Amino acid sequence: MNPVGINGTLIVQFVTFVILVALLYKYMYGPLRKVMDDRRAKIADGLAAAERGKEEMALAQKRATELLREAKEKAAEIIANAERRGVELREEAQGKAREEADRIIASARAEIDVETNRAREVLRGQVVELVVNGTQRILHREIDDQAHRDIIDRMVGQL
What pLDDT does residue 1 have? 44
Interval 51-72 mean pLDDT: 94
Angle between helices 145-158 and 30-139 (to 10 degrees): 130
Domain extents for the chain? Answer: 21-118
Q: Using alpha carbons, list the distances in angstroms from residue 33 to 25, 41, 106.
A: 10, 12, 106
Res. 158 pLDDT band, cuts 50 70 90: low
Interval 33-48 mean pLDDT: 93
Radius of gyration of the chain from Cα atoms?
A: 62
What pLDDT does residue 133 have? 73
Residue 91 pLDDT greater than 90, yes or no: yes
What pLDDT does residue 73 have? 95
Residues 69-88 pLDDT 10s: 999 999 999 999 999 999 99
